[in-house]
Amino acid sequence: MQPNNIKRRRFLGVILASSASALLLPLRAMAAIWNKAAFEAGQLDKAQKDLGVSGETPSKEIEIIAPDRAENGAIVQLEVTSRIPNTEAIAIFVEKNPTALIGNYIFTNGALPQIVTRIKMAETSDIKIVVKAGDQYYSNAKNVVVLENGCG
């Protein structure tokens, strides 16, 4: 007769195996969506290129509200509004962070191209915003003085 704990072990093994395969599907689907290359790029230029940004036009129609000085780089509140018609996406970059790309926000079905978010900044740097509208890219930037590294 098999000891009960061996049966139990086998049973648990089956459960684990099946839940692992169930988990793999959404992870794979996500990996296809998440732009690994762009998010892991250290340099701003490479991050932008990996995100597909090309030939951006400077635009004052992108409004950036952020503090001029941030005591603690761990939490810098940032508000971005695009007044560019047909804005599809807003990307946030911090030029001097270890990885420059912070986030990419894609709007559909009546979402307005305006967001408030809180970001980490390693040191004094430009926050650069890139807006995608159709095939065109537009950008604006704001410098924030950071007194304490928030990227630990």
Options 9-17, 21-29, 53-61, 130-138: segment touching other proteins (CB under 8 A): 21-29
Among 14, 60, 109, 135, binds other proteins (CB under 8 A): 109
Element (H, E) at 38: helix 36-40
End-to-end CA distance of the chain: give it in Å, rounded: 57
Nearer to other proteins (CB atom), residue 18 or residue 57: 18
Q: How far apart are CA 49 and CA 41, in angstroms?
A: 10
39 binds other proteins (CB under 8 A): yes
Q: How far apart are CA 151 and CA 125, in angstroms?
A: 13
Nearer to other proteins (CB atom), residue 103 or residue 134: 103
β partners of residue 143:
126
Residue 14: CB minimum distance to other proteins, A: 20
Element (H, E) at 127: strand 125-133
124 binds other proteins (CB under 8 A): no
Among 54, 57, 77, 86, binds other proteins (CB under 8 A): 77
